[in-house]
Amino acid sequence: MKAMILAAGLGTRLRPLTDSTPKPLLPVAGTPMIVWNLLLLKRHGIRDVIINLHHLGTMISQALGDGRTFGMRIVYSHEPVILGTGGGIKQAEPYFHGEPVLVLNGDTLFELDLGALMAFHREQQAAATLVLRKDPEAARWGLVEVTDRGEVVRITGRGRTETAPALARMFAGIHILHPRLLRYLPAGKECSIIDAYVQGIQEGERILSYDFDGFWSDVGTPERYAQVEQDAAEGLLSLSARTVGSSI
C-alpha cells in the first residue's frame, strides 16, 4: 500500500515558528515531525509515499529528496493554491493507480500498528477506514458518530439521518481510502476529505471506524508542541526504526 502525508498547511497557530519553517519540518527530539511519520511508515513496510506541498514546500522537498536516504520512494504533489485535505488528495489521485492509500497528517505524531490497521481495512473490504479516538471533547474536534458495529454514520452531523444511538468519537487524521470516493470531490478546488466521506455514507459506501487509544498528538499549538517534546523525552513515542540522524 502507498501512503500520502499531508504537508501543505500554513501552520498559522504555530507562528512565528512557521513563518520561516514549514510545520512538518519543526523538530521533535531533534528530528523533523514528518521524518517521524516517514519512519513509522517504513517500520510497517510502506516504502512509497506521496507528499503534498504548499507553504514553504520546497524546503520539505529539499530536506527529504526522493526518499533514498530513508530507503523509500517519495514523490511530491505541488499545490500553487492550497487545496485542503480533500482537494490535495484528489490532485494526487493519479499516483494511487486505483488502489487504497493510507493518509497521515504531516504534523500529527502517534504510535499505531499500521500493519494491523491495513489488515483490518482489507479484511473488512471497506471503502474507507477512519482511525478514531474516544474523547470527552469529541464535538470540539469534529464529532464522528459510529454504530456498535463500527460503521461511521455521521460526521459533524452529516451523513445518515436515522436517530439510532451512536458512539461518539473524534477523527485522529489517520485513514485509508479507496480512490473511488474521490469522485465526490471537485477537481482543482479547495475542499475537505470529510465531504467525500459524508457523501459516501449517504450513498451506502462502507465507511468503517478503527478505534485507537495509543499515543497521539496533534502538534497544532505552542502548548502541544512543548508537550510532545516532553512526551518524546519520556519515551512515549519511538524512533526505533530510525535510519538517519537529526541532520535533516
Report which of residues 213 and 162 the model is more confident about: 213
- CA 215, CA 133: separation in Å to the nearest integer? 11
Rounded-to-5 percentages of helix, strand, coil across the chain: 35, 25, 40
Interval 3-34: pLDDT, tens: 999 998 766 676 776 677 888 998 888 889 89
- CA 35, CA 28: separation in Å to the nearest integer? 10
Phi and psi based region of residue 56 (left: phi greater than 0; alpha: psi -120 to 50; beta: remaining)? left
Segment among 9-23, 114-128, 185-199 with least mean pLDDT: 9-23
Residue 184 contacts residue 201 (beta carbons within 8 Å): no
Domains of the chain plus CATH, in order, are 2-214 (3.90.550.10)
Confidence of residue 164 (pLDDT cuts 50, 70, 90): confident
pTM: 0.90
Q: Which residue has the cell 497521539?
A: 216
Interval 225-234: pLDDT, tens: 888 888 888 8
Residue 204 has pLDDT above 90, yes or no: yes
C-alpha cell at 116: 494491523
Residue 31 contacts residue 248 (beta carbons within 8 Å): yes
Number of Cβ within a 10 Å radius of residue 140: 9
C-alpha cell at 177: 481510502
- CA 51, CA 88: separation in Å to the nearest integer? 10
Q: What are phi and psi of 102, to 5 degrees?
A: -90, 125
Confidence of residue 189 (pLDDT cuts 50, 70, 90): very high
Strands 158-159 and 152-155: antiparallel
Confidence of residue 51 (pLDDT cuts 50, 70, 90): very high
